[in-house]
Amino acid sequence: MEELLTGLEKLWSGFLGVAVFGLLIALLFFIGSRLRGRLSRPAAIVIFLGPAVILLIMGLIVPAFRTIWASTQNSSGKEFVGWANYQWIFDSQVDIIVNSVLWIVITPIAATALGLTLALLLDRMRREAIAKSLIFMPMAISFVGASIIWSLVYEYRAPDKPQVGLLSQIVMWLGVDDPPKWLLWQPFNNYLLMVIMVWIQVGFAMVVLSAAIKAIPGDVVEAAELDGATGWRLFSKVTIPMIRATLIVVVTTIMFAVLKIFDIVRVMTNGNYGTQIVANEMYAQAFVQFDIGRGSALAVVLFVAVIPLIIFNVVQLRKDRATR
């Protein structure tokens, strides 16, 4: 009963906070709509952008600086240790960084390439919406749920016992008497985990790229075909350049998802057997071992890794706009 009352009090406090914030925003908008004269424009800018800027500062900038500062502290966060936590990462956690780089490079490229292939193939099918819906369906599954599904696919049992794992059974049908323990099979277990992420993201890539392909003007394709472009030449010289901006968006979006992924690794192997990545190690250091300094340093590494992707995305989109 006490726990129920405590939960209701927290729920009421949250609702009250949201309600007060909403009333303040409504009041500011009302005041801004009533202003006239020379002060109306700057006042309107402040009123409309002010809440967003405050939320950005409180929700992103301040936590970012706090995390950077915490990354220079010891495990308890009470003693300044400088770059010691970063030195620990690049001295003794090189395998984790290598695994993360492999995830960032392989998974987006594989998901985008497979999504593009499916988009090209399904656009020529009748009732393509049904097939696309089935392929897109994994996007509705959480990473944890997908991991549980694939843990059954990778399940290992001795050859003399009934097989539960689909992959083991298929391999045995192909003539292998004793399939490997898939999740312990280094270094290939890393790639088996990447398959799960590709399976989830390929539907997203397919839908977005299919829309981009359908948006290519028909007269452009007809002109290329009249010039003799068919098959691979038509695909490489016309289709790819026309959907280049969409390809960049898809690849970078999947990269962002991969950078923060830890659910799959956490559920499948918990980072053991050579499958640890930066995001999962950050969680382990900060919330399992309660080492605030090292956990914050790993978070900063992830934050820094995102910056080049954002810059690349912005530069490429500006180039695409300039050519139009």
In a domain, 82, yes or no: no
**Residue 199 pLDDT level (bands cut at 50, 70, 90):** very high
- Split into its structural domains, the chain has a count of 2
**CB-neighbour burial class of residue 191 (10 A; exposed 0-12, middle 13-18, buried 19+):** middle
Q: What is the pLDDT of residues 138-195, one digit of tens each?
A: 888 888 999 999 998 998 888 778 878 888 888 888 888 888 888 888 888 999 999 9
pLDDT at 312 over 70: yes
Residues 158 and 219 in one domain: yes
**Residue 200 pLDDT level (bands cut at 50, 70, 90):** very high
**Residue 111 pLDDT level (bands cut at 50, 70, 90):** very high
Name 80's bridge partners.
Answer: 73
pLDDT at 220 over 80: no
Over residues 297-316, the mean pLDDT reads: 84
Position 229 scores a pLDDT of 67
Position 39 scores a pLDDT of 67
Residues 183 and 289 in one domain: yes
> Structural domain of residue 283, as residue ranges?
89-323
**Which of 11, 41, 70 represents a domain boundary (last residue)?**
70
Residues 57 and 94 in one domain: no
Over residues 264-287, the mean pLDDT reads: 89
In a domain, 75, yes or no: no
In a domain, 80, yes or no: no
- Give the chain's end-to-end CA distance (angstroms, integer): 65
Q: What is the mean pLDDT of the chain?
A: 84
Residue 99 makes CB contacts below 8 A (sequence gap 6+) with 190, 274, 275, 276, 277
Residues 14 and 149 in one domain: no
Over residues 96-116, the mean pLDDT reads: 91
**Residue 206 pLDDT level (bands cut at 50, 70, 90):** very high
Q: How many CB atoms lie within 10 A of CB 275?
A: 24
Q: Vertex 170, ends 166 and 173: CA angle to 5°?
A: 140
Residues 264 and 143 in one domain: yes
In a domain, 168, yes or no: yes
Residues 225 and 176 in one domain: yes
Position 324 scores a pLDDT of 59
pLDDT at 318 over 80: no
pLDDT more than 90, % of the chain? 14
- 184: CATH: 1.10.3720.10
Residues 151 and 237 in one domain: yes
Q: What is the pLDDT of residues 20-52, one digit of tens each?
A: 877 877 777 777 677 676 767 777 777 777 777
Element (H or E) spanning 229, and its range? Answer: none
Residues 239 and 135 in one domain: yes
